[in-house]
Amino acid sequence: MAELAAAEFLYELWDANWDDGPLGNYQIHRHPITKKTSKRIYFTLSGRTGFVDRQQIEADGEIYYGRSMRRLHLTPPDIPTRPKPQSLADLKAAMAAAHPDRGGSDEAFIAARDRYEQARRTA
């Protein structure tokens, strides 16, 4: 019995909330590769066949596919994470550490105070 070849894919990082909400609901879509030649990689995207430049995607690991305005990757991309916002206590401690009486500069203290006040207003 013949062995089945492992399926190959091009991967896309897609944000499910790209049009109406906060960003960050990421999913990885797989697009099956149907054929490889020395110059092109053919794949299926939404029921249609497309192709990308093989040398470019193999050199860079990703390529911008202009027909659908998507960035395609050879390997599954990492899902980005948002940095966790600092707590008010951390911001207050940073503001105190930046105070000129404790060796900080006026500019550093003003910037730290602005960050603290902004976080306090939004909390």
Alpha-helical segments (H) within 51-105: 54-60, 88-97
Domain boundaries, the chain: 9-73, 88-122
- Rounded-to-integer distance, Cα 60 and Cα 6, Å: 23
**pLDDT tens, per residue, the chain with 123 residues:** 445 456 699 999 888 776 655 566 788 999 999 999 999 999 998 889 999 999 999 999 999 998 888 899 999 998 877 767 788 999 999 999 999 999 889 999 999 999 999 988 887
Tokens of 2: 């013949």
3-state secondary structure of 54: helix
